[in-house]
Structure formats: C-alpha cells, structure tokens
Amino acid sequence: MIEENVKKLLKEIPKGVILVAVAKGRTPDEVRRAKDAGVKVVGQNYLQEAETAYREIKNTVKWHFIGNLQKRKTKKAVQIFDMIETLDSIDLAEELNRRCEEQGKIMPVLVEINSAEEEQKFGVFPEDAEYFIKKVSTLPFVKIMGFMTMGPFSENPEDSRPYFKKTKQLFDRFQKIELANVQMRYLSMGMSVSYKVALEEGANIVRIGTLIFGERSNG
C-alpha cells in the first residue's frame, strides 16, 4: 500500500514540488518502504523517532524536522537533520547557530508563520516576520530558505486557503528583499487533507503522512 500511495502522489504532484513523507509514529521499515518507492525527503516531529529511523536509513534520504524543536535538543537535531522547517524563536535560532558552528554546518531553516494568528499555536505572527527575519539573518550558520505554515486544523481543505494565500503573499514580499543568509526558495504548506489547495496557492513543499502510510493505529 505504501508503495502504491507514494507512486500515485509523485505522479500527481507537479514537477519541482518536494514531497515530504511525514513519518510521525511510523516504523523505520515503513519509512524505508516509502524511500524505496521514491520518497526523497522524510519529515519527523520527534527527535527520538528520527534517531531510530536515521540509524537504519541514514542519509539515503533528506531529513526535515517539522515538529516543535526544544533548545536542549538542538545539538542532536543538527547532527541528523538537513532542514528545520519550524523555526519560530530568536532563542532557538541562536542556539541552532551555536550548535551548527560547533559542527561546522550551515542549517537551512524555514520560518514557521502562524498565519491564523492563534495565540496558543507556535509560529511567528505575519506582522512580526520582518523583524524576526532581519534578526536571524545576522546569524552566519543559519540560513533562512523560506516559510512554513500550518493554518488552523479543519476537515475542509478550503478552510485553509485564506491562510495559505496570506503566507504566499508574505513569501512573495520577502523574495524581493535582499538580506544576508536569506534565500526565499521554499514554501511549505499543506498536509494530507489540504495539500491540493496548498499547491494551488503556491506551495513547493507539501507534508503528507496519512495518504502515504495510512491512518495511525492508537494501539
């Protein structure tokens, strides 16, 4: 099933769009099957799960961190991940910069935009994005490569459209601003429910779990 799902998605997604297979709660074997079917990027929400899968699969795929990264786990995250999609605080950016300098690595990051401006959610509010980006751009070992957004959860994909549209407008604006260590190339929007709307609104990274691996069991 995983193999067929991956092949179907890769046929459907336009050329130039990156499919991130969301491996939250999945076994290393499931991740390997997705990789063998053509997945080139795996997204992980939890560092411990990522470590387990990484030990078996290593750098035969790119690894994106798509969860909430705690500062105390940045050293290990820098060792495993090729991109952090969820940068949303200056403190975290500074800690990433310090750990990357120690390891001689420049970390590509996406700034997580809280496009719905929900107080309880992670992410940078759109009106704070300019200040945030200018501040992070001074860190030599962290490179901003674009934006990521979630939008409020809904079973109706159309509910996400205004938030994807807002994030794309912000992305377009920052593409025109030249700053050191900033190269606005990637817009990560949309999941299994909403990825088609995200593609229509300009996403070039989509994060898909259920449509690849099936529903997670609670047992």
Task: Classify residue 9: in a domain, yes or no.
Answer: yes
Task: Classify residue 219: in a domain, yes or no.
Answer: no
Predicted pLDDT at 151: 84
Task: Classify residue 186: in a domain, yes or no.
Answer: yes
What is the dihedral sign for C-alpha 88, 92, 98, 99?
negative
Q: Where are the beta strands (DSSP E) in the chain?
A: 18-22, 41-44, 62-65, 83-87, 107-113, 142-149, 182-188, 205-208
Average pLDDT score, the chain: 96
Radius of gyration of the chain (CA): 17
Quick one: average pLDDT of 175-191? 95
Task: Classify residue 77: in a domain, yes or no.
Answer: yes
Predicted pLDDT at 216: 72
Predicted pLDDT at 11: 97
Q: pLDDT tens across 79-95, in order? A: 999 999 999 999 999 99
> Using CA atoms, how far apart are residues 41 and 53, in angstroms rounded to an integer?
13
Of all residues in the chain, the percent with pLDDT exceeding 90 is: 93
Task: Classify residue 144: in a domain, yes or no.
Answer: yes
CATH number at residue 133: 3.20.20.10
Task: Classify residue 218: in a domain, yes or no.
Answer: no
pLDDT tops 60 at residue 218: no
- CB count, 10 Å around CB of 1? 9
Q: pLDDT tens across 148-182, in order? A: 999 888 999 999 999 999 999 999 999 999 999 99
Predicted pLDDT at 152: 87
Task: Classify residue 209: in a domain, yes or no.
Answer: yes
Place of tokens 């920052």: 174
What letter does residue 51 receive in the DSSP assignment? H
Helices (H), 60-213: 74-80, 90-103, 129-136, 161-175, 195-200, 210-213
Task: Classify residue 145: in a domain, yes or no.
Answer: yes
Provide the domain count of the chain: 1
pLDDT tops 50 at residue 219: no
Whole domain around residue 19: which residue ranges?
A: 2-213
